[in-house]
Amino acid sequence: MKRLLKLFLILFAFIALERLCHKATDGFAMVNVFAPPGNNDAWKIDDPFPENLCAQTFYYLNSGSQSYVFVSEDGTTVLKLFKFQHMRTPPFLNPLPSVGKLKMKREKKRKVLEKTFQSLFIAYSHMKEETGLLYLHLTKTAHLQRTVTLKDKIGRTHTLDLDAVEFLLQKRGTLAYSAIDQWMEKGEEETAKKALRSLLHLAKERAAKGIFDKDPDFQTNFGFVGESPIQLDFGRLSFAEEEKDPKVYGPEMIRITRAFELWIQTHHPSLHATFQEELHALSAS
């Protein structure tokens, strides 16, 4: 009985320590940011790498649903490393052959990865300016020959071989709600109105390109770089030609901005008329 109790306490302590480490690091571990085996050449991009960004150290900023986010020393650029633990089976299963349930599990995880990579590729190929993307690397390469230094949430230093990892570089933006709050607090209502119009226009332009966004959350996925609107998160994009039809994107614009409009109406009622005017014009055009 004592031996069983001792084993239980050891197991409990191990689990508690693992949970504590996970919380302290937001789950970031180098093992999580490398893609599982597979051919990703469909998303290969040959654009030149922005050399000047490599010299900076990137510091842990936050963790999203799909990536760990690090910010450059000068605060202008974010490096996103993808959470592949959600797109693969546990590494200890790698030696096992793909048969039965394990095969189905691997295929399911692969589809998640493919949808994510396709969305990122669409953003880079068709919405580079709208998303502030600077570089996208979704395949293993040998030509970059660059490393970057990372500082994680608890201050540990990591050196990352950029050829060996999948990542993206993006302009750092301020979340839309926070940016509007800041302009209004400083009495810059005209700036807020102009930015609001441009943000709604950005959403409409995405639809006009025949691109559907399954997660168009203005609170978490959109923001501003200076006064320019930007889509910060774009992990759920897909092509949909019907999006170009005003009969489709008109009602969609109203639907996807409903929560945003309620927030404007509640927190900044003086902006509501501008919001309604711009939304009506975009939905009808």
At 7 the pLDDT is 54
At 158 the pLDDT is 97
Helix, strand, coil % (nearest 5) of the chain?
Answer: 50, 20, 30
Tell me the per-residue pLDDT of 222-260, one tens digit each, with 9 for 90 and over: 999 999 999 999 999 999 999 999 889 899 999 999 999
Q: Which range, 47-56, 92-101, 163-172, is most confident?
A: 163-172
Residue 3 has pLDDT above 70, yes or no: no
Cβ-in-10-Å burial (0-12, 13-18, 19+) of 96 comes to exposed
At 96 the pLDDT is 81
The lowest-confidence range among 197-201, 263-267, 281-285 is 281-285
Cβ-in-10-Å burial (0-12, 13-18, 19+) of 275 comes to buried
At 223 the pLDDT is 98
At 89 the pLDDT is 87
At 25 the pLDDT is 64
Q: Report long-range pairs for 6-12 (Cβ below 8 Å, ≥24 apart).
A: none
Q: Coil, strand or helix: which one is 267? A: helix
At 21 the pLDDT is 43
Structure-token pair, residue 141: 């390469």
Domain ranges within the chain, ordered by starting residue: 27-171, 174-284
Adjacent-strand bridge partners of 137? 167
Residue count of the chain, please give it.
Answer: 285
At 5 the pLDDT is 54
Amino acid at 144: L
Residue 108 has pLDDT above 90, yes or no: yes
Give the global pTM: 0.88
Residue 157 has pLDDT above 90, yes or no: yes
Tell me the per-residue pLDDT of 48-76, one tens digit each, with 9 for 90 and over: 998 887 789 999 999 988 999 999 999 99
**Residue 268 near residue 180 (C-beta atoms within 8 A):** yes
Structure-token pair, residue 53: 């960004």
Residue 42 has pLDDT above 60, yes or no: yes
Tell me the per-residue pLDDT of 7-29, one tens digit each, with 9 for 90 and over: 544 544 444 434 444 455 678 99
User: Residue 82: which of 35, 135, 119 has the closest Cα?
Assistant: 35
At 64 the pLDDT is 87
Q: What is the mean pLDDT of the chain?
A: 90
Q: What percent of the chain has pLDDT over 90?
A: 77
Q: What average pLDDT does this structure show over 127-136?
A: 98
Please say whether the structural domain 174-284 has been given the CATH code 1.10.3470. Answer: no
The lowest-confidence range among 21-25, 36-40, 53-57, 184-188 is 21-25
